[in-house]
Amino acid sequence: MSEVRKDNKPTPKITPAEFLSEQKKTKPKIESVVNEHLCGVIKDNALDFITYLRENKFNPNYAGMLNAWKVTYKGRTLCYIRLFYDDMKAWSPHDNDTWVVSLYLEHLNRYEDTLINENMQNVLWDNIRGYCTDGCPSTKEKYRPCFPGVNITLLGKEFKRVCACYPHIWTWNPNKSTLNSVKRILELERQARATK
């Protein structure tokens, strides 16, 4: 659907490839895209999380992919934040405009006990990235075929046919409680990386 400009003429719709090309040139700040495309409590939670990241020197930088920002620590990815709206909703399990934090937990084994002792295992278990089906969008990407998925054990619980596209943890439209756990998990991952 085309937007209407101030002169009442429809704004031509650009393709995702054209939009990506534009984003690669402008490297938009995540806050501006969140403010433009999310609303209500979903927007508030996203902005609060981004503020937390910046205050703790986890600066989200444009990742060179459509609507994706990367947070790194010691040169390695800690998490991605992605936004899905308009034509990109095919990648989202939600009908509305949405955002997701995908966690890269390279040293999870070093703080598994802490997560369990602090009752945070459900945050990870409840946010396993989908169960792989033949219709998974990533099966169409020849460099990363996903179907039929993989079996994983996460904090002592087994999951079958999990989407094989790393990482396995994607928190969709996280609420404040989930975000508080995500913040703690990021801090634990940072500590584990610092004490390699």
Per residue in 141-190, pLDDT (tens digit) is 544 556 667 788 888 888 887 777 666 788 989 999 999 999 999 999 99
Give every CB contact of residue 19 below 8 A, 6+ residues apart in sequence: 66
**For residue 127, pLDDT beyond 80:** yes
| 60-100 confidence digits (pLDDT tens) | 999 988 889 999 998 899 999 998 765 554 444 555 678 99
| Residue (of 28, 38, 143) closest to 88 by Cα position | 38
Q: Are 125 and 155 in contact (CB under 8 A)?
A: yes
Cα separation, 66 vs 26, whole angstroms = 12
| 3-42 confidence digits (pLDDT tens) | 433 445 444 566 778 878 888 999 999 999 999 888 899 9
Q: Are 176 and 56 in contact (CB under 8 A)?
A: no
Q: How many residues does the chain have?
A: 196
- Residue 132: the pLDDT is 58
Range in 44-48, 122-126, 144-148, 186-190 the model is least confident about: 144-148
Cα separation, 158 vs 146, whole angstroms = 18
**What residue spans define the domains of the chain?**
16-129+167-194
Range in 26-30, 87-91, 103-107, 130-134 the model is least confident about: 87-91
| Residue (of 181, 172, 162) closest to 116 by Cα position | 181
Q: Are 123 and 178 in contact (CB under 8 A)?
A: yes
Q: Are 27 and 60 in contact (CB under 8 A)?
A: no
- Residue 3: the pLDDT is 43
- Residue 5: the pLDDT is 34
Query: Which DSSP category does 142 fall into?
Result: T
- Residue 117: the pLDDT is 96
- Residue 122: the pLDDT is 93
Task: Classify each residue of 6-15 as buried b or exposed e, where b means 16 or more C-beta atoms within 10 Å of its C-beta.
Answer: eeeeeeeeee
Cα separation, 109 vs 98, whole angstroms = 30
| Residue (of 127, 180, 174, 172) closest to 154 by Cα position | 127
Q: Which stretches within 56-136 are classed as H helix?
A: 112-117, 121-125
- Residue 130: the pLDDT is 63
